[in-house]
Structure formats: structure tokens, C-alpha cells
Structure 1
Amino acid sequence: MLATAHRRRLAAVVPSLLLCVALVAGCTTAGLQAEGAQPPPGPGAPGPAGDAPRGEPGTLVTGEPRASRGVVAAGGADAVYNYGPTVMADGGRIRMWWCSQYGSARPPGDDILYATAAAPDGPFTGVGGGAPTAVLSGEPGRFDGVHTCDPSVIRVDGTYYMYYTGARGDHAVGNAIGLVTSTDGVHWSRVTDGPIVTPARDTHRANDYGAGQPAAVYLDGWFYLMFTDTTGRAAGWNGAGQFLLRSKDPAFGAGVQALGPEGFVPVPGTASPRAHSLVDAFSADLMWVDALDAFAIAHQTADGTSVTFWNRDFSATPYHPVVIPSEWEEGPGLVRRPEGHAPVDPREPCGRVPLDVFHATVIGEAEAPTGLRHFGVDLTGVDGCATPDRAVAVLDGFAVPSPVRTMDVVVDGRLLRVDRRSVALELADHVLAERLAVLDRVPVAARLAPGARAVRAPGEGTGFVLDGTLWPVTSAAAVGRNESTPEPVSGQEWRNYPAGPTLGPRS
């Protein structure tokens, strides 16, 4: 049965704008320039703060185009639509959450499903290997009383954060954005009683969709949240546009900054006027690409998924856009690492960036998007390790030979020198056969010698104490291979140590 929310959003777009069909997850356009939207500046254009003219954006080379042969994920039972995915590459698995509807999930309305696969082309299965699992549904009486849709999931310090679109009822005026958290990505708890982002209501348009379609990234202690708001002042004539907030609070309850024409500025709250739009689009996704030192925004264009690039403060476009050729109906969901960063190619981490995306490809029997497929290309010839800062960001989780016949493990921007190769392999996700010269310009933060002191605290875990700093470790095998016997300590003693980065796989 077609969700009535689809009908509400279809009706939200005036008949003369049939080029743009608004759905539960929003509305997509191809080749339309929305009035008031902010296109990327041209070469040599002055920056938002009036800085000196910029140079010509770089040209990125693409290669190895790919596409799944067919649908890779779909809800079971009566799930007649599937779209709006968020995709996480995590510990050798591909994890995906998306918008659908199960009649068995109450209340009636949009549900968020979850499934995993060993590879991007699937097959994706739910918890226990069966049909994809409904992990979030509306909660009557709240802002999301009927519909939950458009998930964006990141994981920071062991906590999963899902930002999503919620609607109170079939004809509620405007959607809003909510937040739930989890320790496993399956069981979710609501963080606040209401939404964390509401429509700004700067202006009235025929498209009364409101605020939704969030895309979240965590970078340098900041939570970035990009989203649609058809009531925003800088949105286009049809409501298209992508707005950006950031805060060090994942719930955006304090210290909120909004991206405006002059850069990020503090604002009183998340409903402050929307003064600057990043891209003329609905239904977009965001990620940080360490190898390019740039943000990437994916959205629909006539030829498939267009990816545009912005520097760290969104003041310049350092590269020309690239296109992932694909069949398009609704989406997209970029394949990202847990914090919303681009995956790293273990074969060529400094020279190649994989861009993979999932999205709906057809309008199904319910006149709603479905047919989730996978498409991708690689960016090749990238100089991703040109500087020490870039190198340690790209190589996070790699083990490399050290200059003194030991191994260095790159973790959270630091080098840990590990005496035993077997221990380093337990602490790393990938291994480079040869050392990069740029790493010689990175200081060694600590050394892990055989038998180094280790401690264990109830409810906290196990960690190595190196030069007075506690480095938590997720691999029990690494502790054993290092011949370190964990010493019992209290939780308070554990917390009294200066905290170092976590060692070992974090999935």
C-alpha cells in the first residue's frame, strides 16, 4: 500500500513544476538552476570573505567504472519502495540503512530498514541473514509520529548517530530532522523529545516539504549536517538547495554554526535563517575525502550522480566536478567510512580514491522509487599523501615498515612504533609493504615494546600505558602477542590517565 506521505509530498509541488517530483525523501532535479541557489564560483572568483582570486580548479581523472548487474537490496514482505540509503564500509562489511515500509512495523508509514553485505553488489541481508530488518519507525505523539525516512548514519567513539527525516502525520506541514543513537547500529534510542532541526520558515513556497534529507560527517571534532529546507531563504524557486550546519554537539543543541555567504558564523539555533545554499539539488549526500583534503557532495544530474568538491571551510571549489554514470530515480548514498570519510583503496591508498554510490533506479508499482543498485568509479592519479598531515589522515589504520626494522602503525594522526610485526598486524587494518618518505617527517608519538604495561578496568576495556598515556586497545590478540599481562585497575584510575587514541579494529 502506498504511504499517504508520498501523496502529500507529490502534492507539495505545484503542477507546473512536474520536472521536479517530490517524494517522501524529497525531490530531485536534473539540470535545473533553482532561483536563489548558490552555484560553485567560477575560476578566479573572489571567495565568500572577499579573499584574493582563486586559481583554476584541478581536474580529477576517473577510471574503473562499475555497476551492479541488478538490484542489490530490497525490503522483504510488502516493502514496495526502497530508497534514500546511507552506506557504511565497516570492518570488511558494507552496512546500509534506507527508507521503506513494512506493514508489520507500527505505526503505518515510512520505516528505516537495515541490512549488510560482504561486498557492494550484495546480496544484502538483515540481522541473522534473513530479510532486511526494520530498525526505526515512527513514535505516535512525537514529531515523527508516522514517518521516519532518509537516514544518515555515522559512528564516532563507538556511538552510532542516525540523523533522519520525521513527519507527524500524512498532511503535517513540513518535515523536521531527528536524531537517534545506538551502540550497534541496530537498536536505536531517541535523543530528544523533539526534532533537532526544524524548517526555518524564512519564506513560503508551494513546495512545503520543510527540512529533511540529512547528510552527516564528523571531522576535527565537528559534526557537519547538510540538509534540504524548502522554506529556506536561499533555496530555489522550487525549494531546491542544500544548507549546512556544524556543531561539536551531535544533537546540535549548543554551539551551532551555519554556513553563510561569508563562511561559518555562530547562530542562535538550528532554525536560524538559511542564508547560503551549497548546491541546487534535493536529496544529496556529503563526505570528507582525506586524500583530496576536500568535502564531496553527491547529487543527481542528467547523466547520473554528480560529485562536486569544496575545501575545508567551503570557501572554494578545488576540483572540477566528476560524474558517476548511472540510472537515477532517488538517492544517493555514498559509501563512506564510519565517520563519514571516503574509503581508502588498500592497493593504492595515496593515489586512488574509490567513489561508490547506491540509489533507487526505477519508479515501482507503488509509484515510488525502488530498485537499489550500486554504481562507482575511481579517482586516479591523486597525490593524497603530499604532506605529512594528509598522509597520516589517508593512512589511518595502516601499518608500515619503520626505518629501524620495526613497524609503525598510523592511528588518529600519530605514529606508534611497534617492535613486533605480529602485534602491529593485529593493530592495523591494512599493511603497506614499503615505507613512504613523507612519514619520516611525522614524529613518533610512542613506542610499544614487548611486555609493555597494560591495564584493564571493568566497563572500560584494556589498554597499553605508554609514557604515561593510556592507549585503549580493541584486540585481545595484540595484548597477548605483545606478552603484556593486563593489570586490574579501577574505572577512576583508568579515567585519570591522559587518553591516547584507540588501537586496533574499531568495528
Structure 2
Amino acid sequence: MVAAGGLPAPYNYGPSVLSEGGRYRAWWCSQLPGVGPAGDDVLHASAASPDGPFAEGASSAVPVFAGEPGRFDGMHTCDPSVLHVGDRYYLYYTGAAGDHAHGNAIGVATSADGMAWTRGAAPVVTAAGEVPRGNVYGAGQPSAVFLDGWFYLLFTDTTAQGAGWNGAGQFVLRSRDPLFGEDVQALTERGFRPAGGERGRSVVDAFSADWAYSPTLDAFAIAHQTTGGTQITFWDREFTRHPYAPVTIPGPWQEGPGLVRDGEGWIRPSTADPCDAVPVDVLRATALAPAPTDIRHFGIDIADADGCGTAPRAARALDGFAVPSPVRTVDLVHDGARVRFERRSVAETVAVEVLDDRPDPVNALPVIADIASGAPALRSPAGEVGLLDTSGGLWRVTPETARTNASPIIDVTQGQWRSHPARGDLRP
């Protein structure tokens, strides 16, 4: 067992796992005595490895979200899915005011740190109510991904037209608004259309799924449980085809899996082989005692992904990596282009990894900046540090990067700081 709420917690399942800042943070569904109403709570803990042990200070975990009486989530808050986009955390969750019979809906809460949450005023997804079935669960079990400016939401709705006889099915909404308050689109057989019509297209026959985007595979990966373990089903970004055959992470399971993802819901490439290997890790409950508990870590490596076969795919798979350049410098792949550093040691402070070899498709990516050794370094009144490229563009970096570049940091006024066009943020 790698994560649990301690002896008072009767169950632990449905984790959402983020890898950030050298740590692994997990939120999952449990229940602790004396926390909110007598229903499901969301607990949080972190660890240095997905193998755990997860803890929060001296405790196994701490409650960070619970039901609020009088609201749609007055008793139960469960099935967390957490994103960290920009400077905000977003918690998508199942909420219910009482029992779960058709009362389940999906809510969103926001936070600056992933610990103290502010909930929305109303659910963002409710049951469609299109087909009465024996399974009266309703809408819930959300999983969110941020990709190309869109927030994608995968979820269960046992009352939807597109669900199976038992209510199984996974439906997709997307919006550029993380709170799904406007311009919401639903995935249909004709692609994405304005939400509000029939909920007729399911992307996988499952309950309690989690998903992620893999830049190496350039595909969505949906994790759901089958008799053999956690199956990963792949969809291309347009949801028109399955670009890869499913793979299975074997082993015992109870309830839904939680993929290890970054803050935007991505499976980060392998640091050793970012073009061809995709590490897929899940945390999932493995026992009934009598409710699902005993969260453990499982994983596989997908090989021969050919993630750098074209320039667009290399730009995604290698984003944040640095490679040798043809002119004895080092190129950082950044937002579909290259930022060239004169010193390898400087590139090492901003890159996920500096690779020994340079995939040929990287040559097609434009060089948008050159940062010379000793380039001017500025510090704003707010304390931010930036390096100037040879064209005068400003790149936000850490003080360590400026020092490694042999660039003395000069304090400037806000006007002087803003006089340089902001080119990007290279801070890890």
C-alpha cells in the first residue's frame, strides 16, 4: 500500500496523481471521522516516488475537500481529478447532496495550492436523463486534461443515450473556460458540437476512467479497468480513430485507476528516451475491506513510439528538452521552436534533460532566439529575473540560470522591464 487515510479511513480509491516539483501529489476519495458531513471526502498526500509512502507531514493524509450541506454536493465529494494550469489548481469531482441515486453531478473547485479549495456555485455537468436504466448513478467520475487551450472533461453518465445497458460509457465535453461556464462543446459522432444536444457518443465502455494526453504518442490515453487489469485505450486528438492497439497494465484492482500525469494532465515523455518510450504509471485500489482500499503503484513502458518521426511530433515530444545544435551550441525545444544557448551548462538549468543526440526532424523547427554567454540579465521590481536574447527579447529565468550564464543581474524599473518584448518563460 502506498497511499491511505490511516486506520480511521474505511476506504481509499479513485486517486488523481500529479507529478510536479520533483514530488508526486495524490488526491483520492475516502472518509475520515469528524470531517464535514458523514459522506465521501477528498484526501491529499505527497511522496518522492509513486511507490510512496504518501504522507502529509506526520499524517498519512489530510482532508482537503468535503461536502457542504445545502448544496448539490452537501454530503459526498469523491472521484477527484486535479489539474494545475498556470497559477491555479482545478479540482473536478463527483458531488451528491444525499444518496447517489440520480443525485450525482460534477462540480469544479479552484485553489492556489491544491489544498484550500473554493467550490463553484453549481454543478457543471448533470445527468442527461435520456434513458432510464437500472443503474441510477447519474453523472460523475470526471477526469480532466488541458490541451491546446481547451479543458477536456471525460465522465460517466448512466442516463445518457450513448451509455450501455448497464450505464457504462465515457463522454467528453470541452471548453476554453476551466469552469465550463461558457462555450461548452460536446463530442458527437460528427465531432465537437455545442453542448446541449443528445449525449450519444461514448469513447469507451467503462466506468470510473482516467485519461491523459501523451505528446510522444500524440494521442489521448484512457485508463479503465478490465478483467486483466487497467487497459489503456488510445484516441487521436480528433477522436476519429484508435492510432494504437490497447495495452494492459496487469494486476489486481478495485474501482478506477489514477494515471500519473503532469499539471496539465499529460504523460510526460521518458527522460532517457523521449522519442520512443512512454512511461505509463497508475495508482489504483487493489482490495476490498469491505470497500475499495489498499492503493498501490503499477506501470509499464510503451516502446517504439516513434514520437519524433516528424517535426510537429518532435516539437511536442521534445518540448522542454535540449539537443546539440549544428553550430556547437545547445538548442532548447520550446513551444514548437528552438531557443539557442551558447553554453550547455545554462541549457541544463532550463531543460528537462540535455540529450546526446539530435533527431533530424528538430532541424525543421525555427530558431527564435539566441542567448549568448554573459547576456544582460534584468530583475524587475517584482523580483522576476530575465535574460535578453540577441534581439533584445526578454526570457524569464531563475537567478541560477542567470548566474550560470555569467550574467550579472541588474535591477531595473517596471518601465525598463516592460520595454523589452516578453518572449517566454524558461523557468522549470
Q: Check whether TM > 0.5.
A: yes
Give 1:360's match in structure 2, choosing from 278, 285, 295: 285
State the shift of 1:293 in Å: 1.2
Which deviates the most, 459-468 or 342-351?
459-468
Amino acid at match of 2:412: P
1:434 aligns with 2:357: yes
- 1:198-256 deviation per Cα after TM superposition (whole angstroms, max 9, x unaligned): 11222222222111111111111111100001111111121111000111111111111
Letter in 2 for 1:312: R
**Offset of 1:281 from its aligned partner?**
0.7
Q: Answer yes or no: is 1:124 the counterpart of 2:54.
A: yes
Task: Classify the secondary structure of the residue corresponding to 2:361.
Answer: helix
Instruction: Report the AA paired with residue 489 of structure 1.
Output: T
Cα offsets for 1:341-375 (capped at 9, x unmatched): 112111111111111111111111xx311110111
- TM-score normalized with structure 2 length: 0.94
Q: Which of 137, 153, 170 is 1:225 aligned to?
A: 153
In the alignment, what sits opposite 2:396?
472
Residue 244 of structure 1 corresponds to which residue in structure 2?
Answer: 172
Q: Distance in 2 between matches of 1:159 and 1:253?
A: 17
Alignment of 1:57-456 (within 5 A): 71-126=1-56, 128-170=57-99, 173-190=102-119, 192-268=120-196, 272-364=197-289, 367-456=290-379
The one-letter amino acid of 1:480's match is R
The amino acid that maps onto 1:155 is H
Give ranges in structure 2 of 5+ residues lacking alignment.
none
Q: How many residues align?
A: 426
Deviations 1:150-208 (A, max 9, x none): 01111112321111111112366321111112222222222x21111111222222222
Q: CA deviation at 1:304?
A: 0.7
Residues 1:306 and 1:454: Cα distance change in structure 2 (over 3 Å):
same
Q: 2:403 aligns to what SS in structure 1?
A: helix
| Distance (Å, rounded) in 2 between the aligned partners of 1:181 and 1:499 | 28
Q: CA RMSD in A?
A: 1.9
* In 2, Cα distance between equivalents of 1:255 and 1:493: 39
Tell me how far apart the structure 1 counterparts of residues 55 and 202 of structure 2 sit (CA, whole Å).
Answer: 37
**Alignment check: 8 A CA contact 2:336 2:365 kept:** no
Query: Percent identity, aligned pairs only?
Result: 55
The code of the aligned residue for 1:95 comes to: R
Contact 1:335 1:343 (C-alpha < 8 Å) held by counterparts? no
Q: 1 CA distance for matches of 2:300 and 2:76?
A: 34
Q: Is the contact made by 1:85 and 1:333 (CA closer than 8 Å) also made in structure 2?
A: yes
The alpha carbon displacement at 1:496 in A equals: 7.7
SS across alignment from 1:377? strand
SS in 1 for 2:271: coil
Q: Distance in 2 between matches of 1:135 and 1:259?
A: 32
Q: Structure 1-normalised TM-score?
A: 0.80
Q: Distance in 2 between matches of 1:243 and 1:460?
A: 44
What per-residue deviation string (whole Å, max 9, x for no partner) do you get for residues 445-472 of structure 1?
A: 1111234344444558333344354432
- Given that residues 395 and 410 in structure 1 are in contact (C-alpha distance below 8 angstroms), is that contact kept between their aligned partners in structure 2? yes
Against the structure 1 CA distance between its residues 488 and 170, is the aligned structure 2 distance closer, same or farther, given a 3 Å change threshold?
farther
| Match in the other structure for 1:16 | none
The 3 A distance-change label for structure 1 pair 493 and 141 is: farther
Distance in 1 separating the partners of 2:125 and 2:33: 28
Q: Which has the higher contact order (CA 8 A, sep 6+)?
A: 1
